[in-house]
Structure 1
Amino acid sequence: MTFGTIAVVGLGYIGLPTAAVFASRKRKVIGIDVNTHAVETINRGEVHIVEPDLDMLVHAAVTEGYLRATTVAEPADAFLIAVPTPFKTDHKPDLSYIESASKAVAPVLKAGDLVILESTSPVGATERMAAWLAEARPDLTFPQTAGEASDIRIAHCPERVLPGHVLSELVHNDRVIGGMTPRCSEVATSLYKIFVEGECVITNARTAEMCKLTENSFRDVNIAFANELSMVCDKLDVDVWELIRLANRHPRVNILQPGPGVGGHCIAVDPWFIVSQAPEQSRLIRTAREVNDSKPAWVLAKIRSHIDDLIASTGKSRSSIRIACLGLAFKANIDDLRESPALAITLELGHLYPGQVVAVEPHGASSPAPLLAVDIQLVELSAALEADVLVLLVDHKLFAAQTLQLRPDQRLLDTRGFFDCATFS
């Protein structure tokens, strides 16, 4: 099948790189987003997110006329929906963004079009998307009723890329493609083969949805083991970093590194989709989520303990203590703050110690609005290192270049085992 025009709905951390890679293959791409700032930025040939080399790729695609952004859906031959799928306060999946995107593209669909859901979704979401489209366009047929004879092809293909390496992994990683019919899978595969050099592995839509949830739940469970181990070692006065190094010398052991919690739009969210749909059968997955969700509170308790110790040993008043949080993103070397435990910890410190907290985030150009609301300013690393209590929350490369020599009246909590002089104690 020939795809003259490809539309990407949602121009965030996945949608924009995907649109840019298609455009780099000399395909006409229309990017659709409700965020007018993002649309205007892209149409200037600039980017509104941080991802290595994305700025150059977008600039070239826009300049050459292959990429254009808009807030209103336009006709195309293939539509990729890459919008957020957060969860609600009760950890139930929120499909409202997918529903809105479906209703936005429905009026411009025509017979022969392909619609792919890339958003990480609970099992059955692709079928719900197809139902929303069918409801909006009764003049067209869809796979759930017409099977292989449908006017519109529907598939699910979850993204599985690492922030900071998105452009490379979009091209080289294998893709799991789950069509609602075999023909849907075949057509979707032909679209991705425009740029994917990895293998396109075909399955059905429900298995493709569950595959992404399984991958992230697997990682979440393993991170939870490391985080729980760090808390056990703290209680037993054991250096968790040395312990993990020694244990990992076993040929069949590979313990991950502990941290302040788990963030991001995938690992911190996706396991709850499984729990919400099969609560009695997902006890381990739920427990891992609860362990990782509890880690920021444990880190805060350790910080308060350091502050108490500093007050007792130096005679400083509590109100005079200055605290510096190093890193706000949910992982190293990116600017993404979604579900970030580092940001949550920093904000809570701002509430507990108003006017006493600063933060360093080398990948953020300005202070996020939530920080300003509690009087936390972004500062340079050199200024932050003068604080009384240093809290390393994200292992950004910039911090590794820093020679850290603590004063006798300073305390450090390194949640990532980043500095040689630091432990959880």
Structure 2
Amino acid sequence: MNNKTISIIGLGYIGLPTAAVFASRKIKVIGVDINQKAVDTINRGQIHIVEPDLDMVVQAAVSAGYLRATTQPEPADAFLIAVPTPFKAGNNSDHEPDLRFIQAASRAIAPVLKPGDLVILESTSPVGTTEQMAAWLAAARPDLTFPQTHGEASDIRVAYCPERVLPGHVLRELLQNDRVIGGMTPKCSEAAAQLYKIFVQGECVVTTARTAEMCKLTENSFRDVNIAFANELSIICDKLDINVWELIKLANRHPRVNILQPGPGVGGHCIAVDPWFIVSQTPDEARLIRTAREVNDSKPEWVIDKVKLAVADYLQANPDKTAKDVTIACFGLAFKPDIDDLRESPALSITLSIAATHPGPIWAVEPNIAELPTSLVELATLKPIHEALANAAINVLLVDHRQFRQLEDMPLGKVLDFKGIWVSKDKNLKKENI
């Protein structure tokens, strides 16, 4: 592959780091994205997302001429599709996946395909999506042959290879983590494995496309079930007046127990989404997976109720005040610590809900963003950490960002700590933990 060209379709949190890593190996990479602003930013050698060290890799790759971004697909030898797979809009209790972005990407690259090309789907997808993608490609290019009809003799190779990286550590994990590669035929798998071996230091494990699709969904469903246990435990402990953080720490001293930490919910475009793909396809069988999702999806409402009770308690203790006088500071909007990613963020949804109903000032404290998301602009004010600590009446800790963990001074107002980091640092806050 040393003299070949790779095209990455979708230059977001997965596509751009993947493009940068390939380009760092002196492979010509053409990045494709419909966002003109993102394309222009990348072509200046800059990045439009927050990911440690990615800016340096992109700058070097662009300067050396190995990475270029565009809004329209161009001919290449391998195409990696890394576009979103959201839920369909509307009243959908089983959160049916929306594959329109994968379909659009397939139709976009179809005109530039040629015999011998490799197409890999990286987007997290329901079982069978790779086959559907191949069908879309075949419909658009009847002059070419595809694995579903011509097997090993097909003109185009098609495979599925899910990303399995942790935001904030994407570059390292892209290199070090094993990759599960599911080709539609053994030759498809072999071609995909050879491509990833350009930079992957871990093992490239070959399986079928359907198994690879289910593997990604299984990994995130497993974590979701474990988090749901911790979240349910936190609700139980609150009712029984037990410090859940201390309880989990003690229980984890058992050599075969490893309970995760509870929080205000589960976010991001993986754990909060992928389990529903299994439920949507097998609703009668995926009972535990569905229940875990429901537990985690319901946790933000429980948090919001706790905030409302805190406001009521404050007003009872300060009868000269009204709700308009109560400033609530929400610490963290991202879906996990130390990133700027707000996708499917329970912290953001909680802040939005509080801001929509509370008549007093709402302060958002999020050190990883420079401006509030559009949905929150007219409802809240972005505030620096120390101003909120000193002036808010109620402080709601939703994300355990590094800046919050390292604080020496605790908030002066009432604290609702949904991550257990301030409670563990200040014994005076013990009664305020959730």
The answer, yes or no, to whether TM exceeds 0.5 is: yes
Give the C-alpha shift of residue 388 in structure 1. 0.1
Asked if residue 358 in structure 1 is aligned to residue 363 in structure 2, the reply is yes
Q: Provide the C-alpha distance between the structure 1 equivalents of 2:264 and 2:409, rounded to a whole number of angstroms.
A: 20
Give the C-alpha shift of residue 404 in structure 1. 3.4
Asked if residue 6 in structure 1 is aligned to residue 6 in structure 2, the reply is yes
Partner of 1:123: 127
Partner of 2:29: 29
Partner of 2:228: 224
Q: Provide the C-alpha distance between the structure 2 equivalents of 1:274 and 1:312, rounded to a whole number of angstroms.
A: 47
- The one of 155, 161, 172 aligned to 2:159: 155
Write out aligned runs for 1:282-321 (5 A): 282-315=286-319, 316-321=321-326
Partner of 1:417: 420
Residues 12, 366 of structure 1: CA spacing in aligned structure 2 closer, same or farther, 3 A cutoff?
A: same
Say which SS state the counterpart of residue 167 (structure 2) adopts: coil
Q: Provide the C-alpha distance between the structure 2 equivalents of 1:370 and 1:267, rounded to a whole number of angstroms.
A: 23
Say which SS state the counterpart of residue 284 (structure 2) adopts: helix
Partner of 2:57: 57
Say which SS state the counterpart of residue 412 (structure 1) adopts: strand
Amino acid at match of 1:56: M
Amino acid at match of 1:18: T
Partner of 1:215: 219
Q: Provide the C-alpha distance between the structure 1 equivalents of 2:271 and 2:329, rounded to a whole number of angstroms.
A: 27
Q: Provide the C-alpha distance between the structure 2 equivalents of 1:3 and 1:144, rounded to a whole number of angstroms.
A: 29
Partner of 2:327: 322
Q: Provide the C-alpha distance between the structure 1 equivalents of 2:378 and 2:311, rounded to a whole number of angstroms.
A: 23
Write out aligned runs for 1:22-421 (5 A): 22-89=22-89, 90=92, 91-315=95-319, 316-374=321-379, 376-385=380-389, 386-407=391-412, 410-419=413-422, 420=424, 421=429
Residues 3, 77 of structure 1: CA spacing in aligned structure 2 closer, same or farther, 3 A cutoff?
A: farther
Say which SS state the counterpart of residue 83 (structure 1) adopts: coil
Q: Deviations over 1:274-295 (max 9, x none)?
A: 0000001100000000000000
| 8 Å Cα contact 2:9/2:82 also seen in 1 | yes
Q: What is the TM-score when the length of structure 1 is the normalising length?
A: 0.98
| 8 Å Cα contact 2:152/2:187 also seen in 1 | yes
Give the count of matched residue pairs: 422
Amino acid at match of 2:298: S
Q: Give me the identity figure in percent.
A: 69
Q: Which moved more, 1:355-364 or 1:144-153?
A: 355-364
Amino acid at match of 1:414: D
Amino acid at match of 1:70: T
List, as ranges, runs of 4+ consecutive aligned residues in structure 1 with deviation greater than 2 Å.
403-407, 420-425
Q: What is the TM-score when the length of structure 2 is the normalising length?
A: 0.96
Q: Deviations over 1:105-136 (max 9, x none)?
A: 00000000000000000000000000000000
Q: Provide the C-alpha distance between the structure 2 equivalents of 1:223 and 1:404, rounded to a whole number of angstroms.
A: 30
Say which SS state the counterpart of residue 373 (structure 1) adopts: coil
Amino acid at match of 2:399: V
Output the aligned Cα RMSD.
Answer: 1.0
Give the C-alpha shift of residue 403 in structure 1. 2.2
Say which SS state the counterpart of residue 332 (structure 1) adopts: coil
Q: Deviations over 1:328-367 (max 9, x none)?
A: 0000000000000000000111101145101111110111
Say which SS state the counterpart of residue 217 (structure 1) adopts: helix
Give the C-alpha shift of residue 405 in structure 1. 3.6
Give the C-alpha shift of residue 3 in structure 1. 5.5
The runs of 5 or more residues in structure 2 that have no matched partner are none
